[in-house]
Structure 1
Amino acid sequence: MLKYVEAAASWLFASAKGRDAKAFTKGPAFTSHPAPTIPITSPDCGPDGAVLSPAYMHGAQQGKFPELEWEAVEGVRQWLLVSEDPDAPLPTPICHGIYLGIDKDKLSVTNDDFQQQDDNKSTKLKGGFYYGANRRGNVYIPPRPLLNHGIHRYFFDIIALSEPLDETLVASKPTREQVAKAIDGKVIAWGRWTGQCERKWE
């Protein structure tokens, strides 16, 4: 039954894609840096625009976070990582994950970095950084495009900040909007790696 509902929704919202203009990196904090300049690669998924395999999509024993590597930036004091889907049939992109307090010397992340600490009470992850609030309130929402809605892109944006964010904010599981406000005047560069996938009726 759910397949029929999803397929019908895909037909109704076939043109409701491409919310790039509402992406996180289109906010006021990026006025002086409108284009990505930091190269990002994914050793396990492939080049920018790579098709995500089922292991990186929503499903039982799946949902891995793509491994990412990026280059150092002069003057960076802290990194921020944001993942979102601009092709969801909603007015704004869906925030799949937002990660704060990434150490300035850390130039890569792996799936293990996004595992919660043993007590599951803190928002601090095993990678040494913290997670903010996404649509479901968890660490990461793996890609699950609407059935038959075509290809969805998933942005993974790494953002270089000129100064660390307030520690209280970082640990408070802030929203996308709160983080966007907090980084105003602190962005010195950013980069993007994009993965894509779709779900078809079988």
Structure 2
Amino acid sequence: MPDQTPHPEHSGRSLTIQRVDPILDTGVLVTCPVQEADGRLPDRHSAYHDNISPPLKWSNVPDVQAWAIVVEDPDAPQEEPFIHWMIWNIGGQTNHLPEGIGNEPRLLQVQDAIQGRNGRGGYGWFGPRPPAGHGVHRYYFQVFALNERIQMGPDTELKELLNALKARTIAKGEMMATYEAPTEQ
């Protein structure tokens, strides 16, 4: 029987990670401890439910001074991938983020990390919220190991952050999660 699941239109732009060439060939292994076996993010992380950021873990890289994370949905029906999260200047000795990071632009509890604006205009995490009937969307959690901190504020746009990542990335890695709009009951 053919797959009759509606498939989303895709944005036309490459993901951030595809536009950054790291200094080293070493990859960064990225995992989400709460991700379900089929790759789906639990409901509590979606904007349909609690809209809290998921916990993340990643492998370490030598000489890393800071980390940056960009989460994008390339299946959004728009020209650019939808930005779900931009956070940078996570301390180099850190190899994880706990669940439920606040949505403040500057995070003291995460060693002075900075969060940029998501695709909805707020700071921090904005969870999956694919349109109903649009099918399964993919969410790419892109982690960048940096050789120095990024001196940019929370109103930095992704294109500016991308240029900073291009100049500072030692190694990179990604994890993909999925989510589909809940069905009406």
TM-score, with length taken from structure 1? 0.77
In structure 2, what is the equivalent of residue 6 of structure 1?
A: none
**Equivalence for 1:124:** 106
> What's the secondary structure of 1:181's corresponding residue?
helix
Identify which of 119, 128, 146 aligns with 2:131. 146
Deviations along 1:121-145, one digit per CA (max 9) or x if unpaired, are xx21232311012222212211001
SS in 2 for 1:63: coil
* Corresponding residue number in structure 2 for 1:51: 40
Structure 1 65/15 Cα, relative in aligned 2: closer, same or farther at 3 Å? Answer: closer
For 2:10, the equivalent position in structure 1 comes to 17
Measured on the aligned residues, the alpha-carbon RMSD in Å equals 2.5
- Structure 2: distance between partners of 1:200 and 1:115: 25
Contact 1:36 1:189 in 2 (8 A): yes
State the match for 2:172 in structure 1: 190
CA distance in 2, matches of 1:46, 1:161: 29
What is the CA-CA distance between 1:201 and the residue it aligns to?
A: 4.3
Alignment partner of 1:157 is 2:146: no
Q: How does 1:10-89 map to 2 (within 5 A)?
A: 16-17=9-10, 19=12, 22-27=14-19, 29-30=20-21, 37-46=27-36, 50-60=39-49, 62-89=50-77
Amino acid at match of 1:96: H
Deviation at 1:59, TM superposition (A): 2.8
Kept after mapping to 2: 8 A contact 1:94/1:135: yes
- The residue aligned with 2:95 is 107
- Give the equivalent residue in structure 1 for 2:3: none
What residue is the counterpart of 2:120 in the other structure?
136
Could you say which structure has the higher helix fraction? 1
Query: Counterpart of 2:30 in structure 1: which amino acid?
Result: I
Aligned to 2:161: 179
> Which consecutive unaligned segments of at least 5 residues does structure 1 have?
1-10
2:34 and 2:42 in contact (8 A); partners too: no
Distance (whole Å) between structure 2 residues aligned to residue 103 and residue 182 of structure 1:
16
Q: How far has the Cα of 1:58 moved from its partner?
A: 1.1
Whether contact under 8 Å (2:73, 2:84) holds in the other structure is yes
What is the count of residue pairs matched by the alignment?
A: 177
- Partners in 2 of 1:183 and 1:198 — Cα distance? 30
Contact 1:134-1:175 within 8 A present in 2 as well: no
Structure 2 unmatched runs, 5+: 1-5
Q: TM-score, with normalisation over the residues of structure 2?
A: 0.84
